[in-house]
Structure 1
Amino acid sequence: MIRYKPKGWITFIFRFHKSDTFRKLIPMMIFIGIYTFAVCYLELIYWKISEKDPLSNITMMHNMLGFVISLLLVFRTNTAYDRWWEGRKLWGSLVNTSRNFTIKLSVILKEEHDRMYFRKLIPGYASILSKHLTDVETSLVLYEGIDLDHHKHWPNQVATMIFQKINDLHEQKKITGDQLIILNNEIQSFTDICGACERIKNTPIPYSYSAFIKKFIFFYVMTLPFGYVFSLGYYAIPVVVFIFYVLTSLELIAEEIEEPFGFDANDLPIEKISANIKIHVEEII
């Protein structure tokens, strides 16, 4: 995730980050520029079409569809940002759940080996969940001292180990029945957060909707030169390229943030959040 100063907006204009959409779109922008030049040459020089030709009225279609495409892109970006923000709220809940669970255990547990067990397992859940969401494979059978079966659901195994330990402590009379009920809510929250993150990860924007927007943008931009040539001449080249850049950039941004669990520049820093959870847990218990 990119860290920046929101108030330094002037620097954004002259700085191009490696994840900036301008870098990604340079090849297509060059193609659109060449395509627009070809249309300008054919209409003005080769075919010598006059401004009275019905083809010059094609801009009426663009004016009508411009409002439609703006609504689609607004809905697209809002939907993508909702997914990104929901993911951030879920990981914020994981931080709070880990802290609350650790605080309660630090008061309840008296023996050091019991405290040490949860000192390892609670931050281990967050770290393993981050790797589970980013599809990071590891050949280690022991991850941070936690014995995992890599053919099964990783977070579920850790949650089971946590609850098993809590149940054992209850049977050993180290935890009362009331305390078991209180701690059970925290353990359940771990699985609830994991399930909600998996819902975001495994449920992308419907294919037909995403494909339609891409096709709409493509055909909208490809027909722009036919009308703009009559009013702008060869100046239509930078205008069409700029319109393509704006519309396509919005779609690219939405594609990047709709899947917040990954390694793109604007994805959530879940590895760093996991590391912070580890620091907080070790401070408390």
Structure 2
Amino acid sequence: MVQYNTKDWIAFIFKLHKSDTFRQLLPLMFFIGGYSGFICYLEMEYFHLGEDSKVKNISIMHGMLGFVISLLLAYRTNTAYDRWWEGRKLWGSLVNSSRNLALKLASILDNEIDRHFYQKIIPLYAHVLQKHLADDESGLVLFDGLDLEIDHTKHKPNQVAKMIIKKSNDLYKSGSLSGHQLLYINTELQSFTDVCGACERIKNTPIPYSYSAFIKKFIFIYVMTLPFSYVFTLGFYVIPVVVFIFYVLASLELIAEEIEDPFGNDANDLPTEKIAANIKKHVEEILG
């Protein structure tokens, strides 16, 4: 995730980050500029169309559809941001559950071996979940003395959760945990799987294809028809105007595409790796 100062206007305006939509759209912007110049040449120099040409009335369509495209893009952006923010809340919940579980176990367990096990396995769940959501490999995780071989044919976070629950149940059977204490930590144990399931729901349920494809086609047709009418009032100045309009509209769609899946490795995705590292730090402090 990009770290930045929200008050630094100069950096926002003049600095081009590698995740900036300007860089991604630059080839298409050159194409749109060349296309607009070609249409301008045909109408003004080749066909010599005058102010009375009916082609000029195409701008009526743009005026009618401008409101529609703004609504679509606003809804698209808001929907994508809701998914991003929900993902952040889920990982915040995982942080709290990990801390609460560690705090409860720290007050219950006296055996150093048992405390050491939970000190390593609780952060491991966040680590494996982060890899699982980002589709990264984690075949053999060497986590500070805790060796866990991940079976890729099975659900990876569930394998870690199973180890945590099995250990808790073994402690109950041996008398190290009472039934009341097992129920006391059950909420946190259950919340791990709840967070994983909710994150998978976001990741595995993208915006419907028809909706996303329609917006892209709408933007393309809208922009490609702009030069036909505005060339009569702007002349060759229509080139930078159309390019700028395309940049604004396409950028909104690109931003929405990037943040609707917040668990990847894009610049604007959630810093899940950093959050997992913080969970490890805090849990080790509590159970250390």
Per the shorter chain, which TM-score range?
Answer: over 0.9
Return the alpha-carbon distance in structure 2 between the equivalents of residues 78 and 138 of structure 1.
Answer: 33
Structure 2 residue aligned with 1:62: 62
Contact 1:259 1:267 (C-alpha < 8 Å) held by counterparts:
yes
Which residue pairs with 1:2 in the alignment?
2
Contact 2:43 2:49 in 1 (8 A): yes
* Contact 2:133 2:203 (C-alpha < 8 Å) held by counterparts: yes
Identity %: 67
One-letter code aligned to 1:21: T
Q: Which residue of 2 aligns with 1:221?
A: 223
SS at match of 1:146: strand
**Residue number in structure 2 paired with 1:232:** 234
Give TM-score scaled by structure 2 length. 0.97
Secondary structure of 2:70's match?
Answer: helix
In 1, Cα distance between the equivalents of 2:139 and 2:106? Answer: 33
**Which segments of 5 or more consecutive residues in structure 2 lack a partner in the other structure?**
none
Q: How many residues align?
A: 284
Residue 249 of structure 1 corresponds to which residue in structure 2? 251
Cα distance, 1:207 vs. partner? 0.3
Structure 1 residue ranges without an equivalent (≥5): none
The SS at the match of 1:149 is coil
Query: Match of 2:207?
Result: 205
Q: CA deviation at 1:150?
A: 2.3
Equivalent in the alignment of 1:112? 112
Q: How does 1:118-133 map to 2 (within 5 A)?
A: 118-133=118-133
After TM superposition, the structure 1 = structure 2 runs for residues 1-285 of structure 1, keeping only pairs within 5 Å, are 1-140=1-140, 142-144=141-143, 145-285=147-287
| RMSD between superposed Cα atoms in Å | 0.8
Describe the superposition over 1:180-235 as per-residue Cα deviations: whole angstroms up to 9, x where unpaired: 11111110000000000000000000000000000000000000000010010000
Does structure 1 retain, via aligned residues, the 8 Å contact 2:259–2:268?
yes
CA–CA distance in structure 2, aligned partners of residues 93 and 168 of structure 1: 26
Q: Please state how far the C-alpha of 1:9 moved relative to its aligned partner.
A: 1.9
Encode CA deviations 1:63-117: one digit per residue, 9 max, x unaligned: 1100000000000000000000000000000000000000000010000000010
Write the distance in 2 (CA, Å) between the matches of 1:249 and 1:149: 40
**Whole-angstrom distance in 2 between the partners of 1:73 and 1:45:** 36
- Give me the whole-angstrom Cα distance separating, in 2, the residues matched to 1:102 and 1:176: 17
